Chain A
Amino acid sequence: DGGITQSPKYLFRKEGQNVTLSCEQNLNHDAMYWYRQDPGQGLRLIYYSQIVNDFQKGDIAEGYSVSREKKESFPLTVTSAQKNPTAFYLCASSLSGSADTQYFGPGTRLTVL
């Protein structure tokens, strides 16, 4: 079955730690995205990548970093510089980076202890 997987489902972080969230897709999509979801707010774009070895900052990139070494993988690192990292993180992919429909993974809930 084609789809998007995210791991882990739940992640706990101590203050001052960096953590990395995994996102893998086998849809052969070129574009991948990371969003953050907070209660009562729309999804906000953190980073996106339209092609391997290239990525762009979204609206709330501060305190986050990404890499795109393989077409299938787009990991997100939440660094200690992110002041309020507790949130639900969603990875998505689309066929290309234009107006194509984005398909989402199951999400990772990050909690800072």
Chain B
Amino acid sequence: EDQVTQSPEALRLQEGESSSLNCSYTVSGLRGLFWYRQDPGKGPEFLFTLYSAGEEKEKERLKATLTKKESFLHITAPKPEDSATYLCAVRGNKLVFGAGTILRVKS
């Protein structure tokens, strides 16, 4: 059975304090790994799609990387507006979502 585990469940950072969020997965035949950002009471906003190990994508202060077992979302010098829940999803035979990491960035 395809599974996705995100860690940590919650993360508090000071503004400018870089860190990483983890998405570990087991899937039979990876057909894509997706990262989304979700603000409270809103729908998830698409960030990145990764398809193969070694692939990396960047957007502003965010960088997503992929290995055969996990993906990292690196946040460099975060700002308070980066506070949100970050969701990871993997597609094998179907799309499976992790429970998310709640990120809080204090100024």
A residues neighboring B (CB under 8 Å): 4, 6, 40-45, 88, 90, 98-99, 101-107, 109
Using known A-B contacts A99-B91, A101-B49, determine if residue A42 contacts B43 with beta carbons closer than 8 Å: no
Of B14-22, B58-66, B70-78, B92-100, the one with at least 4 CB within 8 A of chain A: B92-100
Contact in complex: A104, B4 (CB < 8 Å) = no
Q: How large is the interface on B (under 10, 10 to 19, 20 to 34, 35 or more residues)?
A: 20 to 34
Contact in complex: B46, A103 (CB < 8 Å) = yes
Contact in complex: A107, B95 (CB < 8 Å) = no
A102 to B49, CA, bound (A): 10
Which residues of chain B in 22-47 are interfacial with respect to chain A, using CB atoms and an 8 Å cutoff? Answer: 31-32, 34, 36, 41-46
Q: Interface on chain A toward B: helix, strand, loop, or mixed SS?
A: loop
Among A42, A44, A98, A107, point to the contact of B42 (Cβ < 8 A).
Answer: A107
- Given A6-B43, A45-B95, A104-B46, 14 new contacts (CB under 8 A): A40-B99, A42-B87, A42-B100, A43-B87, A90-B44, A98-B31, A99-B32, A104-B36, A104-B43, A104-B45, A106-B42, A107-B41, A107-B43, A109-B41
Nearest-Cβ distance from residue B12 to partner chain A, whole angstroms: 18
- Give every chain B residue within 8 A of A90 (Cβ-Cβ): 43-44
A90 to B98, CA, bound (A): 15
A-B contact pairs, 8 of them (CB 8 A): A4-B43, A41-B99, A42-B96, A42-B100, A98-B31, A99-B91, A107-B42, A107-B43
A102 to B87, CA, bound (A): 13
Contact in complex: B98, A104 (CB < 8 Å) = no
Chain B, residue nearest A33 (CB): B95
Give the residue among A98, A102, A105, A109 with the most B Cβ atoms within 10 A.
Answer: A102
Using known A-B contacts A42-B96, A107-B43, determine if residue A99 contacts B31 with beta carbons closer than 8 Å: yes
